[in-house]
Structure 1
Amino acid sequence: MVDIPHNKRPTDMDYQDIIDPHVHFFALEKGNYQWLKSTQPPFWPDKHLIQKNVSDADLTLCSALRLNGVVHIEAGFDNEYPERELAYLNDTVKRVSHKAIAYLDITLEPTLFSEKIRQYQTHGNFVGIRDITEGEDAQRLHHSNVVKNLAFLAHEGLIFEAQFEIAQLATTQTLRAYCVALPNLKCVINHCGLVTPDTFASWQLALHILKGLDNLWVKISGFEMAQRQFNAKWVQTVTDALLQTINSEHLMFASNFPLCLLSQSYQQLWQLYSELTLPDHAWALMSYHNAQRLYQLA
């Protein structure tokens, strides 16, 4: 990695390594990907834009930024046997260093949960799990098995990626309780906690609930999920609110590739991030160092 001062942004005269901690690669002929099919929800009119094979070869950036590593987040390759996705990634991701987050039902009976984790751990790229609990599914985070399963993840040094609307304050309180009870648990909030302009006030309250947790991180990503035509001003507003409550060492810029293509190119998104107004030192932390440390990328 080229050593660029922390308060300096990449220019045409130099470059900076970045790590993207939230990407999805699709191999449509190998996986199931039920959610990507036109006959299955979500019924997005622009879903055709992402119904294609995508790989690390499609992650192209300008000369001022160099992609040094990625974290692949489970993409519904095979939710019955998620270890198949881990094997596929090990076989195909060759151009860039990578780690992988696999799917696993957080409410599973704990013995079965731990058995599945042991299977996943035979794959060297595996670093944690995600179980999406958006909308009404957020109630699943209150299930009696969750604390036992998160305790096992914590014991194994693994990551739990939480994806739900943190503006659901009761569920956010529950997540905080897990993080406090399990200080070795590494918990990551995906996509800024799915904030929207309509939920911004409640979302800010949620950030104060999560404030001060040393074992919680937030990814700045996924803006296209709520607003296809989001702009830099909205990203700046959300980022400012995060920086006011969550330490910059616990924030990470990420792309959600290829879903970011529903709004703009991969290069355009990272250019937007690089042009945000940030405190000194924050860019290098949020674009590289935090993800490198958390996901143990070489």
Structure 2
Amino acid sequence: MEEAQQQQDKNSLEFKSRIDLSHLQASVARIKSELGKVIIGQQDMIEFLIISILANGHSLIEGVPGVAKTETAKLLAKTMDIAFSRIQFTPDLMPSDILGTSIFNVKTSEFEFKKGPLFSNIILIDEINRAPAKTQAALFEAMAERQITIDNNAYTMKLPFLVFATQNPIEQEGTYRLPEAQLDRFLFKIRVNYPSLEEEIQILESKHHQKNKHCGSLISAILSAEAIEKYQNTIQEIVLESNLMRYIAGIVNNTRINANLYLGASPRASIAIMDASKAMAAINGRDFVTPDDIKRVAVPILGHRILLTPEREMEGFTTDKVVQQILETIEVPR
């Protein structure tokens, strides 16, 4: 029995050395350290946003005003030496305001396309649910296909291309509900809560000592576009065993037959869990996925992709609670 355990430990050590993740881990640690200069707490949001970058997925950040949603996304973008745009969505925002428009050049007597703020690497969209359907549709194409079609011309977005969007769950006046198809394009829906009492005291102390220093000036760039692409490719090499694939499929399939749910998750959710759990394993220094990685990412991936039945909604159920129940129900692979 002891010999079998020793052999298993030996195999485990050999298994861990297949992919060198030291540079990726070091970069993630440095990014967290840079953000820690300004952002107090909100570790889950920071971790999920980093995973979002590594897994090449967009993220929707939901929380009440003042919990550092926008600030965290902006500062995270500053840790990367790539282009960044911030767009404030409003009810009168038109597609041309974010995509760009064709302008007539008198000298050449031709129309020239002037690119809008969506042509960037990381795009922070504040209050995404305030823009009308036309603008949402224009954004949807860019998110889904990494390209934009204008005047019958297709423009491919320069990689990396990631959308971080924020929305306020409380305020409903002047907002438009995002369609399910668009929500499905977000890898994560990250729910941001109030800080704890101790964290809020630290926030006050930090702000007091910063005086009038601008937060952005405290943050240094860590990653280049080439490094991000390299790490995204590395994530795809992380090992996912067949029994864990079955585990992921079982979780997602349960959402389609669950009595508490009116709408279950699509196969895109299964792929999202797979990619995100690989990234979760990588930032923890493992080149293989464990069930805990899958459980960790399942709630923010599935919560916005499923709909409660009217009865459960009236009873005060939440989609996150249903996902937690599913995770407790499905047998974990050994």
TM range (shorter): 0.3 to 0.5
Q: Relative contact order (alpha carbons < 8 A, sep ≥ 6): 1 or 2 greater?
A: 2
Q: TM-score, normalised on structure 2?
A: 0.30
More helix by share: 2
Q: TM-score, normalised on structure 1?
A: 0.32
Structure of higher CA gyration radius: 2
